[in-house]
């Protein structure tokens, strides 16, 4: 009997050993976590042209110290499957007639929950619900590091926004060949409430042709489409195709923009086109140049163009991890050719600063 009892104990021990995790297996970390960071854009801007007339009739060059953007970034994970982001944005109120006109006000820039799909799909796959980054602006700003100088082409001209309320899905292609992101949004951007029943469907597809090449793995080809409407049968559509390149010595991009706008069926549709080219050569000791040129024709039936030229020199401070900080001295010129009513030429010099952690 004693021998039989010992045998049963040995068998039970062996059986329990068979259900222990295999050697080398690391279970996912489901410990809840939260992180707090911040983003700050500040600048001093001197407007060379046009000059302005002050309250006493003097002709002067407008200049000002500004806080362009202040984010408080709160990110975290409930488990390895569920994450979130909450980002308040502090901006200057510009509502005419408001008691807050000119004040710095608090609003929500991002606020979403994210379901991570890495257990079932390629790493980096997820679903988001809430106020979140839009597919094109978020992608380009990942390559163009100078949002603190000013927004990217389509955003600056008012055709797209960096954030909107909606639901989106993103997944990656195998072996780092690219990714695709698609979402449905209100279409009114994060700064306005939904106005009607119309929704925007945005999709971005990016292909990395040579992910294994030493130099050309930084080349990506992207197409983006935004199908939206102001009202029923009133188109608000955008199409962008672009080539971007990332390298330790230079980042660059060239893109083409096509737009259709008809705010009401009682108005004529405007078909606009434009392009943007930028390059940021990187030098030694943290110095980097910025050269950018935008050209927009808001209506292809009218020979009117807005052209923007930006040239600057930046210094990026040494940092670790996701922390980044920089200063940029730049010159910007904007010409508005054959616009009616006439829009004066703009020339400005600015010193910008970025802190992000």
The pLDDT tens digits of the residues spanning 158-172 come to: 999 999 999 999 999
**pLDDT confidence band for 14 (50 / 70 / 90):** very low
Report the predicted TM-score, pTM, of the whole model to 2 decimal places: 0.87
Does residue 25 surpass a pLDDT of 80? Answer: no
Q: Which residue in 231, 278, 282 sits closest to 252, CA to CA?
A: 278
What mean pLDDT is predicted for residues 138-162?
95
| Predicted pLDDT at 191 | 83
Counting Cβ atoms within 10 Å, is residue 276 exposed (0-12), middle (13-18) or buried (19+)?
buried
What mean pLDDT is predicted for residues 44-73?
93
What mean pLDDT is predicted for residues 339-345?
89
Least confident window among 185-199, 212-226, 277-291, 297-311: 185-199
State how far the alpha carbon of 248 is from the alpha carbons of 88, 128, 239, 317, in Å. 33, 31, 29, 16
Q: What angle do CA 305, 311, 315 make, to 5 degrees?
A: 150
Query: Which single residue is written with the structure tokens 């390149």?
Result: 245
Number of H helices, E strands in the chain: 3, 18
| Predicted pLDDT at 310 | 98
Identify the helix (H) or strand (E) that includes residue 135: helix 135-141
| Predicted pLDDT at 320 | 76
Each residue of 23-43: b (16+ CB within 10 Å) or e? eeeeeeeeeeeeeeeebbbbb
Domain ranges for the chain: 111-356
282 secondary structure, DSSP code: B
Rounded to the nearest 5°, which phi and psi values hold at 104? -85, 120
Does residue 6 surpass a pLDDT of 50? Answer: no
Does residue 18 surpass a pLDDT of 60? Answer: no
Does residue 132 surpass a pLDDT of 60? Answer: yes
If one looks up domain 111-356 in CATH, what number appears? 2.40.160.10
| Predicted pLDDT at 100 | 62
């Amino acid at each position: 009997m004693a021998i039989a009892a010992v045998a049963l104990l040995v068998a039970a021990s062996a059986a329990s050993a068979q259900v222990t995790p295999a050697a080398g297996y690391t279970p996912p970390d489901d410990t809840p976590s939260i992180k707090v960071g911040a983003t700050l854009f500040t600048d001093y801007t001197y407007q060379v042209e046009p000059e302005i007339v002050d309250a006493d009739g003097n002709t002067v060059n407008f200049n000002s110290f500004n806080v362009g953007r202040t984010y408080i970034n709160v990110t975290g994970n409930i488990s390895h499957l569920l994450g979130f982001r909450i980002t308040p944005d502090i901006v200057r109120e510009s509502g005419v007639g408001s008691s807050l006109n000119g004040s710095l006000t608090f609003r929500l820039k991002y606020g979403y929950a994210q379901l991570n799909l890495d257990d079932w799909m390629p790493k980096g796959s997820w679903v988001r619900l809430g106020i979140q980054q839009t597919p094109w602006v978020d992608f380009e700003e990942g390559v163009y590091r100078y949002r603190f100088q000013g927004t990217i082409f389509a955003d600056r001209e008012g055709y797209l926004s960096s954030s909107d309320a909606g639901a989106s899905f993103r997944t990656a292609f195998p072996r780092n060949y690219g990714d695709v992101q698609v979402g449905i949004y209100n279409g009114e951007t994060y700064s306005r409430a939904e106005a009607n029943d119309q929704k925007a469907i945005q999709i971005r597809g990016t292909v990395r042709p040579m992910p294994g090449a030493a130099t050309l793995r930084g080349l990506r080809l992207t197409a983006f489409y935004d199908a939206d409407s102001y009202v029923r049968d009133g188109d608000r559509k955008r199409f962008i195709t672009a080539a971007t390149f990332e390298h330790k010595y230079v980042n660059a991009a060239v893109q083409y923009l096509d737009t259709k706008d008809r705010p009401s069926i009682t108005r004529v549709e405007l078909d606009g086109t434009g392009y943007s080219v930028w390059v940021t050569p990187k030098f030694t000791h943290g110095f980097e140049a910025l050269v950018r040129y935008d050209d927009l024709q808001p209506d292809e039936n009218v020979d009117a163009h807005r052209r923007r030229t930006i040239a600057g020199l930046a210094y990026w401070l040494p940092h670790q991890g996701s922390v980044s900080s920089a200063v940029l001295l730049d010159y910007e010129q904007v010409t508005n050719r054959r616009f009616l009513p006439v829009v004066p030429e703009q020339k400005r010099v600015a010193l910008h600063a970025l802190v992000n952690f």
